[in-house]
Structures are given as structure tokens and as C-alpha cells.
Amino acid sequence: MKQLGWIIAIIAILGGAYWWWQGSSASPSIDTGASSAVPGTESAAVQGTPMPVVGSVTEEMIVTAPMTATVTYTSNGFSPKEVTVKKGGTVMWKNTSGGKMWVASAQHPSHTVYAGTTREEHCPDTARTAFDQCVGGGDYSFTFDKVGTWGYHDHLKSSFFGKITVIE
């Protein structure tokens, strides 16, 4: 009987140590490096960062949301498909597909959700208040000044899409 007590105690200690170790190593890592998109602002690599459930904003996101993010466009679509930035933050889409990319706000084909204007009304948008690349091409960046979740797609291949979440 005494041996059974020792075995239970050892299992409890090992289980507690394992539980503590798992809890302390589960926090996501964010690489804060320099960005050429907007000099002098915070930056973070978003790839590999776990994304929250759409519509939810956690305290951790508010503290760690970067001011810049990069989305890569390949022949398979956007990666990552969802990013979170702070209000006033800039997202850069890097076209590595070998073809043209046309980042356009939801909803296809009107592109009216972010700016509240039709594509014909805001292209070319010299004030850059509409979230739309306006023509197919290479890299594209946009600074988000509205809080919310904003869908986007490749206007040339509308089955490729993603979301930008902008928080305070």
C-alpha cells in the first residue's frame, strides 16, 4: 500500500510539472523586425501567428497587433489569408506569383464595402481612401484608418480571398 502512495505522488508531481510547462510555452511568438513599407513604425511577421475566431478581439491581440503586415501572393493565393493590424497600420501585398495581382476590397465585383464608393468612382483614387489596387500589377500596400474586419480578393481571380482585421 505504501508503494502505491509513492507512485500516485510521483505521477501527480510529473503531471503538474507537465501542465505548468505546457502553459508557459503556449504563447504565440511575434517577430518584430524593421519594415520597409512604413519607416519608423512597429512591424511584425504575421505568418505563423495563430489567428483568432473572426469577430473576436482578445486583450493579447490589442497589445501585440502590429502596425505593418505583409501578405504574399503566389499562384496558390494569399498567405496568410488573414492578418490583424492596429488602426493606422499598413498591409503590404507582395506579388511573387509571376503574373498580375489586383487586390480589391470586398465585395466582388463592386468593391464598395471599405470606401463606400463604386470602383468606377474611386479609381484612380488619388486620396487613397478606397481599399482597391485599381488595376492588376505587382506589389500593393494600403493603410487602414477604419476599425473592422475587411474582406479582400484578387479581382483577376476572385476565388483567392482573405481578411484584414483592424483594431484600435
Pick the more confident residue, 86 or 50: 86
The pLDDT, as a whole number, for residue 164 is 94
61's enclosing H/E stretch is: helix 59-64
134: left (phi over 0), alpha (psi -120 to 50) or beta: left
The pLDDT, as a whole number, for residue 134 is 78
Among 11-20, 77-86, 105-114, 134-143, name the one with the lowest average pLDDT: 11-20
Q: Cβ(124)–Cβ(108) under 8 Å? A: no
Distance CA 98, CA 132 (A): 20
- Given the C-alpha cell 476590397, which residue does it identify? 105
Architecture of the domain made up of 59-167: Sandwich (2.60)
Distance CA 100, CA 34 (A): 27
Among 45-54, 104-113, 135-144, 150-159, name the one with the lowest average pLDDT: 45-54
Q: What angle do CA 129, 131, 135 make, to 5 degrees?
A: 110
pLDDT average, residue stretch 38-67: 51
Residue-wise pLDDT tens digits, 86-99: 999 999 999 999 99
Candidate ranges 8-12, 21-25, 135-139; pick with highest mean pLDDT:
135-139
Residue-wise pLDDT tens digits, 56-96: 555 555 557 788 999 999 999 999 999 999 999 999 999 99
Counting Cβ atoms within 10 Å, is residue 3 exposed (0-12), middle (13-18) or buried (19+)? Answer: exposed
Q: Cβ(91)–Cβ(83) under 8 Å? A: yes
pLDDT average, residue stretch 13-28: 52
The pLDDT, as a whole number, for residue 124 is 62
| Set of cell numbers at residue 157 | 481571380
Long-range contacts of 23-31 (CB under 8 A, 24+ apart): 28/60, 28/64, 30/64, 30/66
